[in-house]
Amino acid sequence: MKRLERWRQKVRQLKTEVAALFIAARHPGVPWYAKLLAAAVVAYALSPVDLIPDFIPVLGLLDDLLLVPLGILLVRRLIPPAVLAECRERARQEANTRKTSWAAGAVIITLWVLLALLFARWLRPLGAAAGCGDAR
pLDDT tens, 18-49? 889 999 999 999 999 999 999 998 888 877 77
Contact 62/52 with Cβ under 8 angstroms? yes
pLDDT score of 110: 86
Q: Average pLDDT of 94-103?
A: 65
pLDDT tens, 70-98? 999 999 999 999 999 999 999 888 875 55
- The domain limits of the chain are 2-129
Alpha helices in 25-131 (DSSP H): 32-46, 59-62, 68-78, 81-93, 102-129
Q: Tell whether pTM > 0.85.
A: no
pLDDT tens, 47-56? 777 666 666 6
Contact 50/5 with Cβ under 8 angstroms? no
Of 6, 28, 40, 46, the residue nearest 82 (C-alpha): 28
Backbone torsions φ then ψ of 50, nearest 5 degrees: -105, 155
